[in-house]
Amino acid sequence: MFYEIRDYHYRRDIFQDYKRWAEQLAVPVLRKHLDVVGFWLDSGSTPEITGSDPIESPIGSANVTWIIRWPSKQAREAGLARLVDAEDWKQVWAQHPDADGYLQMSARFMEETP
Q: Which of 81, 106, 72, 67 is nearest to 2 (CA)?
A: 72
CATH number of the 2-43+60-111 domain: 3.30.70.100
pLDDT in tens, 76-98: 999 999 999 999 999 999 999 99
pTM for the structure as a whole? 0.92
Amino acid at 31: R
Residue 47 dihedral angles phi and psi, to the nearest 5°? -65, 155
pLDDT in the model for residue 10: 98
Instruction: Tell me how crowded residue 11 is: count the other CB atoms within 10 A of its CB.
Output: 16
User: At 62, which amino acid appears?
Assistant: A
Each residue's pLDDT tens digit, 1-57? 999 999 999 999 999 999 999 999 999 999 999 999 999 999 999 999 999 999 999
Listed by start position, the domains of the chain span 2-43+60-111
Task: Report the 10 Å Cβ neighbour count for 65.
Answer: 16
The CA distance from 11 to 18, in Å, is 9
- Output the pLDDT for position 53: 97
